[in-house]
Amino acid sequence: MRNKLSWFAVPYVVWMALFTVAPVVMVVIYAFTTSTGGFTLDNFARMGDFAVVFARSFQMALIATLICLLIGYPLSYFMAKEGPSFQKVATVLIMLPMWMNFLLRTYAWVSILENNGLLNRLFAAIGIIDLGNLINGGLNSLCAWLNSGVLDWLNGMLGTEFVLNTARATDMTYFRMLYTQGAVVLGMVYNYLPFMVLPIYSVIVKLDNSLLEAARDLGASSSRVFRKVIFPLSLPGVLSGVTMVFVPSVSTFAISKMLGGGTKLLLGDLIELQFLGGAYNPYLGSAISLVMMVIVVVCMYVMNRFGEGEEQAVML
Residues at the contact surface with another protein, assessed by CB under 8 A: 18, 22-23, 49-50, 52-53, 56, 101, 103-104, 106-107, 110-111, 114-117, 176, 178-179, 254, 257-258, 260-265, 269-270, 272-273, 275-281
> In whole angstroms, how close is the CB of 23 to another protein at the nearest point?
8
Nearer to another protein among residue 276 and residue 313 (C-beta): 276
Minimum CB separation of residue 270 from another protein in Å reads 7
The secondary structure of the chain, three-state, reads CCCHHHHHHHHHHHHHHHHHHHHHHHHHHHHCECCCCCECCHHHHHHHHHHHHHHHHHHHHHHHHHHHHHHHHHHHHHHHHCCHHHHHHHHHHHHHHHHCCHHHHHHHHHHHHCCCCHHHHHHHHCCHHHHHHHHHHHHHHHHHHHHHHHHHHHHHHHCCCCCCCCCCCCCCCCCCCCCCHHHHHHHHHHHHHHHHHHHHHHHHHCCCHHHHHHHHHCCCCHHHHHHHHHHHHHHHHHHHHHHHHHHHHHHCCHHHHHHHCCCCCCHHHHHHHHHHCCCCCHHHHHHHHHHHHHHHHHHHHHHHHHHHHHHHHHHC
Minimum CB–partner distance for residue 293 and another protein (Å): 17
Pick between residue 168 and residue 257 the one whose CB is nearest to another protein: 257
Least distance between another protein and beta carbon 212 (Å): 45
* Least separation in angstroms between CB 49 and another protein: 7
**In the complex, minimum distance from the CB of residue 115 to another protein, in angstroms, rounded to a whole number:** 4
Q: Which is nearer to another protein, 236 or 268 (CB)?
A: 268
Instruction: Decide whether 168 or 228 has the Cβ nearer to another protein.
Output: 168
Closest to another protein by CB, 182 or 277: 277
Kindly tell me which of 282 and 307 has the beta carbon lying closer to another protein: 282
